[in-house]
Amino acid sequence: MQVAVFSTRAHDRQFLDTANEAAGSQHDIRYFEAHLNLATAGLAEGASAICPFVNDQIGPAVLKRLSSQGVRLVALRGAGFNNVDLAAAEALGIKIGRVPAYSPYAIAEHAIALILSLNRKIYRAYARVREGNFSLDGLLGFDLHGKTVGIVGTGRIGITLARIVSGFGCEIVGADPVESAELRTIGGRYVSLDELLACSDIVTLHCPLTPETRHLIGPGAVAKMKRGVMLINTSRGAVVDTRAIIDGLKAGKIGNLGLDVYEEEGDLFFEDLSDQVIQDDAFARLLTFPNVLITGHQAFFTREALQAIAETTIANLTEFEASGCPLHPVSAERHVWPSAST
């Protein structure tokens, strides 16, 4: 099957080619660096499937264009599907496949890296020591042992993180409409979101982006948090209202902020913009805080995760060719596209 891969980086090509070869080179894969949008959809001419990345916006107009060119499958290279209008795809007869689970360790371990780096100010210490500045002023951290970690979303990644922080001797509380017995096995307990916000020293977000979770962490949620709380977001940027967390940081309510995702990241992340002026004022403001650590959506970026993503993507393509349905389909009732016009 001919497949058009969008938002390609060297690692995508490397891992997808290896997985395709291992599966008998059944697919003719064409790689494009361009993001998928209405202007670039034509690159998929001749392809039956497209393979977009997290910040490619696959709304009704793009889907209509792809459908008219003969595309019948969107094989997402990730777990999240908030960037696809599932109802429009279904109406056009386009199937959506995804990679529901690749390495929960990759994301949970990155969240831990943010927690430890922020707490012990490793990013500041690294820069200082290189400058010959060995002062400890401003580097004071706290013991993780005995602190309460609030996990919003106790699915695969949330539970993996719970296991890690239980090793640090943390108290664990979770908030999730679907409770997992495993959290209790680890020694955690379920509370309401309000209770979690009120009692946690560290709040870490691991729920998907849905209409219900958009701006879940807004001014109201920030007000309910402990003074000096550490907030970590490795889920999706729009789960957090950026203005609310900037206000929370300025007021000292949020003591530390670690982000791997940002609500307007589509215009920034995955590109080298180091010689350009950042036009996003909210993002630029976030960069000015000494207690904010931002990574550019790299939590998934481990060898094991990329290999698993590539193998499952190839399996989705192969199964679709054989049966007309990808191995891991996404159905329309699971998500409502936020805007009908894009």
Q: 297, 311, 328, 335: which is the annotated catalytic residue?
A: 297
Q: 265, 311, 328, 335: which is the annotated catalytic residue?
A: 265
Whats the size of the chain, residue-wise? 342
Cα–Cα dist 8/29, whole Å:
11
**287's tokens:** 């960069």
Cα–Cα dist 207/239, whole Å:
8
For residue 74, list its beta bridge partners. 50, 96
**274's tokens:** 């180091």
- Report H helices in 225-290: 242-250, 281-286
Neighbours of 187 (CB within 10 A): 11
Q: Nearest CA to 38 among 10, 73, 64, 13?
A: 64
**329's tokens:** 């389909």
* Residue pointed to by tokens 């429009």: 88
Binder of ligand NAD out of 49, 107, 222, 327 (CB under 6 A): 107
Q: Is 237 in the site for ligand NAD (CB under 6 A)?
A: no
Q: Is 188 in the site for ligand NAD (CB under 6 A)?
A: no
Give how many residues touch ligand NAD by CB under 6 A: 30
Chain residues 238-267 in contact with ligand NAD, contact rule CB under 6 A? 260-261
Closer Cβ to ligand NAD, 24 or 177, answer by number: 177
Closer Cβ to ligand NAD, 71 or 196, answer by number: 196
Q: Decide if 156 is catalytic.
A: no
Closer Cβ to ligand NAD, 211 or 252, answer by number: 211
Binder of ligand NAD out of 98, 297, 328, 335 (CB under 6 A): 297
Q: Decide if 236 is catalytic.
A: yes
Closer Cβ to ligand NAD, 150 or 248, answer by number: 150
Phi and psi at 232, nearest 5°, equal: -125, 130
Q: Is 175 in the site for ligand NAD (CB under 6 A)?
A: yes
Binder of ligand NAD out of 10, 136, 140, 178 (CB under 6 A): 178
Binder of ligand NAD out of 6, 262, 300, 337 (CB under 6 A): 300
Q: Is 136 in the site for ligand NAD (CB under 6 A)?
A: no
Question: How is the beta sheet containing 189-190 ordered, strand by strand?
Answer: 189-190, 171-175, 148-152, 202-205, 229-233, 254-259, 292-294
Q: Is 218 in the site for ligand NAD (CB under 6 A)?
A: no
Q: Is 153 in the site for ligand NAD (CB under 6 A)?
A: yes
Q: Is 181 in the site for ligand NAD (CB under 6 A)?
A: no
Binder of ligand NAD out of 28, 45, 212, 264 (CB under 6 A): 212
Q: Compute the least distance from the CB of residue 89 to ligand NAD, in Å.
A: 18
Cα–Cα dist 101/247, whole Å:
35
**69's tokens:** 């060119």
Binder of ligand NAD out of 208, 296, 329, 338 (CB under 6 A): 208
Q: Compute the least distance from the CB of residue 293 to ligand NAD, in Å.
A: 14
Helix (H) or strand (E) run with residue 184 in it:
helix 181-186
Binder of ligand NAD out of 62, 79, 309, 315 (CB under 6 A): 79
Chain residues 12-51 in contact with ligand NAD, contact rule CB under 6 A? none
Q: Decide if 297 is catalytic.
A: yes
Cα–Cα dist 293/295, whole Å:
7
57: left (phi over 0), alpha (psi -120 to 50) or beta: beta
**211's tokens:** 């209409």
Residues serving a catalytic function are 236, 265, 297
Contact positions toward ligand NAD, by CB under 6 A? 79-80, 101, 104, 107, 152-158, 175-178, 206-209, 212-213, 234-236, 260-261, 297, 299-300
